């Protein structure tokens, strides 16, 4: 197999950033290299790969988007945002007696967010004369859209931090799996869609969730995506993002609720886009939605250690820590990881990463505590459960690493032959 040079990896990473809007720091070069190697193993040469990438060959685009995408999600993630929809947004909508409530889960990964939104809205409706409910979930990746349509989930999609789930949401499927209930599925559909492009529907949405996506994007891509999201809103509609993802309301919106909620309401009538607002209000197709003026909204940087990270995206924070480790800034990385483990205690890759860092720092007792925590948190979960992190690895990997460490003082080899997610995700890091 021809070898792949760092220059080719860098060029492919630039293409991947262009296709997805990802910030360069959110793209792991190691993943790009491995993705390229998989294609070289099928007989391509590096020159052919670059040529196909340059021509945006859909197969190559799909392959690298798939390679770098982070799909961490679970049902009723950040439950306060669903409570806000059920207790404030839906009652306000009902007062105007709409024929339908339309929601969009933008960057829905494998569908948990879209189904949670459907359950939250349906649960807030009156028993009679209720409007129709339509929830559209979209994602960049075809495989995510297929998984969302299958609606079959494992235990890792249900996390304690979400609190109790509505009993109407899931039905047991046997073997520890669940399927979204038919009543919820009936209101939900999925489609592939790139958020860098115009909204996926010509009809406006009352509620748009786009959480834990902007945090991966470059400032200019996040700005363009925000403009597309607000352009898709009906007058008075609400955009909900991850709490640290925007440092100011997108143009034309104002905060709905406390800043940490990450919710923004579009003005009931928008003087700058009257045609669209009127069209949406009348149920007519939205005209020229993609040309809504782009604002200056930017994603907030990952917050420094010590500040609240209550709803930060764990994988994005983890990537930041990895970047610091790779640059030799272990102490700063350690601070970020400590905060990550505190605020996202279910996030296994963070627990293991911190344990590895403590091992390197000569603190085996603290590392052992983290390893024990991994075993405790995973005790009742199936070994094959996929765990999303900088790389998607099965739960068994985290358990094996923790068990091996506690037995021999070192973690188990990763599938790539190294040790721990740091090395598994980025060979050559110290």
Ligand X SMILES: C[S@@+](CC[C@H](N)C(=O)[O-])C[C@H]1O[C@@H](n2cnc3c(N)ncnc32)[C@H](O)[C@@H]1O
Q: Which is nearer to ligand X, 72 or 391 (CB)?
A: 72
Q: Which is nearer to ligand X, 69 or 253 (CB)?
A: 69
**Looking at 12, 52, 61, 72, which residue binds ligand X (CB under 6 A)?**
72
Interaction of residue 211 with ligand X, rule CB under 6 A: yes
- DSSP H or E run through 177: strand 177-180
Closest separation in Å from C-beta 212 to ligand X: 4
Closest separation in Å from C-beta 58 to ligand X: 15
Q: Which of residues 91-130 bind ligand X (CB under 6 A)?
A: 107-109, 113
Interaction of residue 67 with ligand X, rule CB under 6 A: no
Strand-pairing partners, residue 133, are 101
Would you say 387 and 381 are in contact if contact means Cβ atoms under 8 Å apart? no
Closest separation in Å from C-beta 129 to ligand X: 32
Would you say 390 and 349 are in contact if contact means Cβ atoms under 8 Å apart? yes
DSSP 22: B
Nearest to 140 by CA among 205, 217, 43: 217
Closest separation in Å from C-beta 137 to ligand X: 9
DSSP 307: S
Interaction of residue 188 with ligand X, rule CB under 6 A: no
Nearest to 262 by CA among 296, 295, 311, 213: 311
Closest separation in Å from C-beta 175 to ligand X: 24
Q: Which is nearer to ligand X, 73 or 378 (CB)?
A: 73
- Residue 388: phi and psi, rounded to 5, are -80, 130
* Number of residues counted as binding ligand X (CB under 6 A): 23
Closest separation in Å from C-beta 147 to ligand X: 10
Interaction of residue 165 with ligand X, rule CB under 6 A: no
Q: Which of residues 287-316 bind ligand X (CB under 6 A)?
A: 313
Distances (CA, A) of 429 to 49, 188, 260, 410, 411: 26, 43, 35, 17, 16
Q: What share of the chain is helix, strand, coil (3-state, %, to 5)?
A: 50, 15, 40
Interaction of residue 318 with ligand X, rule CB under 6 A: no
Distance CA 176, CA 197 (A): 38
Q: For binding to ligand X (CB under 6 A), which residues are involved?
A: 20-21, 69-73, 77, 107-109, 113, 139-141, 144, 194-196, 211-213, 313
């Amino acid at each position: 197999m021809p070898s792949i040079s760092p220059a080719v990896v860098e060029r492919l990473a630039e293409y991947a950033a262009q296709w997805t809007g990802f910030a360069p720091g959110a793209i792991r070069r190691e993943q790009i290299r491995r993705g390229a190697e998989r294609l070289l193993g099928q007989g391509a040469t590096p020159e052919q790969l670059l040529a196909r990438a340059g021509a945006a060959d859909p197969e190559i685009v799909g392959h690298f988007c798939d390679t770098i995408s982070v799909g961490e999600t679970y049902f009723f993630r950040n439950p306060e945002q669903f409570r806000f929809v059920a207790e404030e947004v839906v009652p306000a909508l009902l007062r105007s007696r709409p024929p339908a409530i339309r929601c969009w889960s933008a960057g829905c990964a494998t569908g948990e967010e879209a189904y949670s939104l459907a359950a939250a809205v349906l649960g807030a409706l009156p028993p009679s004369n209720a409007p129709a409910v339509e929830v559209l979930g979209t994602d960049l990746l075809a495989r995510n859209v297929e998984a969302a349509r299958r609606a079959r989930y494992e235990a890792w999609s249900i996390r304690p931090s979400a609190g109790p789930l509505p009993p109407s949401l899931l039905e047991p499927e046997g073997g520890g799996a669940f399927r979204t209930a038919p009543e919820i599925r009936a209101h939900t559909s999925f489609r592939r869609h790139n958020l860098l492009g115009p909204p996926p529907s010509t009809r406006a949405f009352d509620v748009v969730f786009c959480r834990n996506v902007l945090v991966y994007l470059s400032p200019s891509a996040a700005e363009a995506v925000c403009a597309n999201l607000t352009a898709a809103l009906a007058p008075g509609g609400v955009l909900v993002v991850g709490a640290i993802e925007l440092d100011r309301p997108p143009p034309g919106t104002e905060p709905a609720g406390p800043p940490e909620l990450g919710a923004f309401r579009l003005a009931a009538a928008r003087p700058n886009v009257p045609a669209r607002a009127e069209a949406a209000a009348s149920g007519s197709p939205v005209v020229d939605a993609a040309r809504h003026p782009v604002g200056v909204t930017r994603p907030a940087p990952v917050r420094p250690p010590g500040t609240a990270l209550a709803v930060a995206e764990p994988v994005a924070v983890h990537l930041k820590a990895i970047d610091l480790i790779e640059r030799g800034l272990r102490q700063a990385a350690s601070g970020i990881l400590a905060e990550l483990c505190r605020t996202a205690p279910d996030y296994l890759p963070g627990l293991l990463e911190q344990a590895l860092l403590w091992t390197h720092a000569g603190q085996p007792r603290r590392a052992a505590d983290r390893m024990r925590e991994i075993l405790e948190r995973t005790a009742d979960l199936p070994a094959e459960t996929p765990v999303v992190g900088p790389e998607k690895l099965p739960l068994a990997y985290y358990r094996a690493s923790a068990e091996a460490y506690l037995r021999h003082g070192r973690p188990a080899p990763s599938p790539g032959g190294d040790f721990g997610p740091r090395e598994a995700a980025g060979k050559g890091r110290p």
